[in-house]
Every structure is written in structure tokens, then in C-alpha cells.
Structure 1
């Protein structure tokens, strides 16, 4: 049985790199990779790197760790990491070309496509070949940070956002369980307002950048609790890095995956909860935890729990509001609480605004709370202040 993997990634040069510097990078890569039995390819086009690493898993992972820490690579993004039966690149240890987009027209299936005259045996059918085609067509190009900023500056009106953080409090220990990252505009506008202003931008890519930015902001502020970050399942269908890029950012920031809670709206999962569960299980194995947000706002919530059991469930604030005066809602919530208890799911009462609402949930044994009664979202800090009756 083969013990080979392909690790394919893209990255950006944080600054323009001259031909001599690129040649030196390539020469060093060739020497290192030949010693460690790593084959593959390295391309650099218009500030974007695209690389296939092929070899024994431990050797490839060690090399990739070095690449991720190399200041000549920015925004390193894993595209695929998978076992392969045989080498697709023979004994060829590494090659590179600084090409124009026109030069890339024949990149796939060509025996001699490097501008420098280097040759490569034709790549056999497989995922690497398909990803090369995607790179040729302009995808998997990771623009340098200054280019991303320039593109966002060109959006009208300017695309600017920040994060406010709101604590989720564990009542029995009177401690902060987590902080939810809430995207806000420069004037305090909510997330919907920002997204409406950013229609020219790829929404899935924008949300992916925002999740990473939220994590990085929390790390800068000294996060020592969990962090709740909003997530839309449709992003997975449009980007294979929708979650892996967040895990990569967590590694760079020193935040364990077990501290990250991805919040998914009930209405987003309910369309195909079985498929969602299957897609998320590999990420749960990495340590990520999941919460269903606004539970009770849809039409088939209990059906959803039969297919996908989250770690946390946030009760929709419309069910929370005035709960102490509404008998039917009380009966519904007692049933949800019992179901969650049997399934090992922790409940969060979200949007709690009055002492009476808090007291009803607390009397029912609910331990986790979020809302204006306890603490409001704040900018530029992870608040340690909260109120409990």
C-alpha cells in the first residue's frame, strides 16, 4: 500500500518578488525536497504561489510547516490534503515559472510549459491536474494583502467592518463561558447592513475572511475563553477552505480548535440536516464544536435534532421574550430542555433582557445565558464585566 500524500496549497507573496529571489527560493526548495524524497511543483504568477507537495506524510507535513512560517508566503491556504496511490510527478523535484496569464493557456497536459524551458512529464488524470486547470483559469490565486485591501477600498461604499464581542455567561460558576463575535460596521451597523453594501464581492469569500478576522481580533485581545463565530453551511459548497482556513488561522493564533464554536442558523441546516451532519463530522473530529442558533424559529427543529446533534443550542429570543407570562411557550421549552438533556446538548438562553426571563430559565436548570441583561456587545475588548441577578 502506498504511503504518499498530495498536499496542495496556495499563498500570496506579501511583497513583489524579483526573478533572482524567486530563483533562490526555487533552488533551496529543490535541494531540500530532493533530500527528503518530496516531488511536486511550484508556480508563481502575479504574486500568487501554487504548490503541489508529494511524498511521505511526515516529510510533507514538516515541509509545509516550514512554508507556513516562511515570511515569503502570506495567506497560506490548504486546498487539498489526501493520500495518493503513486507519484504523479516522477522524480521531478520542483519547478517554477514566473508567467503571464497568456503563458498559462497550455499549462495542463503540456510537456514543456515553463517559461524558463524546464520540462515536466505530462501529469496523469487526477485531482492535481484538475486543480492546475483551476489555477490556469484564475482560481486559487491568493492576492497579496495589499491587493486585497485595494480591492476592498474600491468597493463603493468602502467595505469596512469591525467586531463587537458579547459574553455568554455560565450562571452556576458566575464566569464567562464564551464570547460571541458580532460583525459591525464603522457606525455600529449590523451584519446584514454590511453584506448589503458588499454585493460586488464574492459573499462566500467575504464571510470566510470575516471568520478569520474575528478569530484574529479575539486572539489580539487575549482570548482565554471559547469564541462563537457565525457560519453558513452554503459556504462549504463554494469553497473547500471554508472551515480549514479557520483552523489554519487558529493554529497561527495559538487558539485550540476546541475553543471555537461555529454557530449555524436553524433555518440554514434544516434544508438537508443529514448532509450537513456528514459534512461537519470530520471537523468535529478536529475539535470544533457546533451550536444551532435561533432554535425554535423554524418549522422542523426537533426533526433537525434527530439528524444532527449540536454541542450547544441557542433558544430563539422570540421564545425567550416574556417567557414568565406565557404558558404554551413554557411547555415547549421544557420539552426542548428535556430533549437536550437526554442528548447531551447544552442550552443557551439568548437575548435575555429582564430579570424575570432570567429567573424562569434559571429555575428550569438552564446554566448558560446571553443578552443585554447580562452584558452588551463591546468593541476593542473582551469584556470580563457582566451582571447576574
Structure 2
């Protein structure tokens, strides 16, 4: 196990393309950190810099007590789990798991102990004599995880390991990865574009945008108090609604006592209701544009009067409201998120 410290890391590709700009992050020993953000935000590049698969243009990377900027991947005491499994098709599962250990000269009894232990943890003991082509996608991913596990590294790096699996299997594997990481207590850095995956796996989330850190915190800290407009729109599904203060003033619905500089108000779909609550509320009038049943909940898309952009309401069950109906949406004042559109930052 090891602490990972990134100090002002930069990555600039030939031609001056800046992929990572000034990232500083301290990952505690045993912590599960998830990097999340849209495509091209720099999350996979940053992971590959930690792995040693991308050179570091500037800054310092420390794993454990060592500065590893110039170390080869094999010398960094890390293990990586890839999106595409990267298994040797001609080898059995056992030999896939044992291959790296044999190359390092680990004694055969120790190899067998580690392989059997990892296979037991990952429920692949019955498949050790099979080749990858005889396995399902989930089983192959377990083998890929087992290959990292047997190395007993200081840190695990995961590069979107579940993106090739179907939705049901992704949920199952997500649970297994989190349980395994907690059991082992190994420092882990995990990259995903799936925010639900990020929210459920992370001790702390790191939201990246344009090669820089937007916000770091626990999943619920980022959900309940996003620090920027970008984070507010990226974390949470459906995304947070953003309403211009000028529109609210014109409609006589501007909430009182918002911080100075607020010209944009965010409200999550969960915090909007078709009925007034007990606390003072912001009330918005509009028309139901679309009702979208989603099992245990429904999403209602409402076009506000005088505003072409619809906003989303999430309610339990199937509400008794029809498309085209006039509605009044209510939001408690404590559920409003104040932002400044010019800076993109929270105002209070």
C-alpha cells in the first residue's frame, strides 16, 4: 500500500497540446479515488502518467516514499486493469495470472499460493484451466483483475474496466470491485466516464474538465454542494436545472437573500415538486412538455412560461399529470444553488 502525491503535474503533447495542466492531488494510503469527467478531460492521460505509460512534462509524482517521474512502469509497484482485459488468448487463466510473477522470478509455490488466493476471491477458481475465449466478459474482467491482484502492488490503477460490459454485469462488477478494494485496503485510482459508477465507488471524487481539477470531495459533498456550474451539471442524473436570475425577476419568482454576484440559480430535479412544501418556496409556472416513466420514478419535462428551455422534475411513481397540462413547480429555498455565470463558480 502507498500514498500517491501529484504535485503540479503537467502533460503537453508535441504541438503544444495541453492534456493535463497543474494537477495537485494527495491520495491517502488505502484510499479509493475516482477520476471522472467528459471525454477529453485528461482523466485517462493522468492515470497513464501515474502508471508510467505517459511521460510527465512537468511537476512531481510520488508513490510511497519515492519520486517516480523517471521510473519505468515495472519499477513503480503498481498494477493496472484495462478496459480491454489485455489477456493472452493462448494461455489458460492460471497462466495468465501467473505470467507476470514468473517473469519476476517468484518461486513456484508462492505463485501457486497467490493465484489460488486471487482466484478464490474473484470466484474464478473453476476456470483456471480454461482459455479466455471460453469465458464470458465478466469472467475475463475478473481474470484481468486477478492478474493485478496477484502482484500484491502498492496501488491499483483502473482504466474504465467495466465499459465493455452490459448494464447488469457492470452493476455486479462495480459492487465486487468496491468490496475487494475495501477488503484489501490497497490505494486505488479509478477512471470512468460513468458518474453513477463514480458516485458508488469513490471515497473521494475528482471531477476533471479541460485537463484541470474542477472539484474534489466525497460523492455526497459534490452532489449536495457543487462548487462550479460544470460540476453541478455533470454530477447527478438527470442533471441540475439552471435558471437565469433575470428570468426569475421578470416573473416575480426571484428568491430572496441570495449571495452577491448570483445570476444563475441551480435546482436539482429531485428538489422540484408539483405541490408546495412547508418551507418558503420558489414557484415557477409552466407546461408539461413530456412525461417519461422510468420504473419507480418519473421524469417530467416542463417548459417554463416565457422560457423555451425545459427543466426536469423527478418524482416517485407515475404522477397524475398529462402532457400539455399547466403546472406550478415549487422548490424550497434551502435547495437552491447560487452561481455566477461569468466565473462559473458557486457564490455561497
TM over 0.5: no
Structure of higher RCO (CA pairs closer than 8 Å, 6+ residues apart): 2
Structure ranking higher in helix proportion: 1
Structure ranking higher in strand proportion: 2
TM-score by length of 1: 0.28
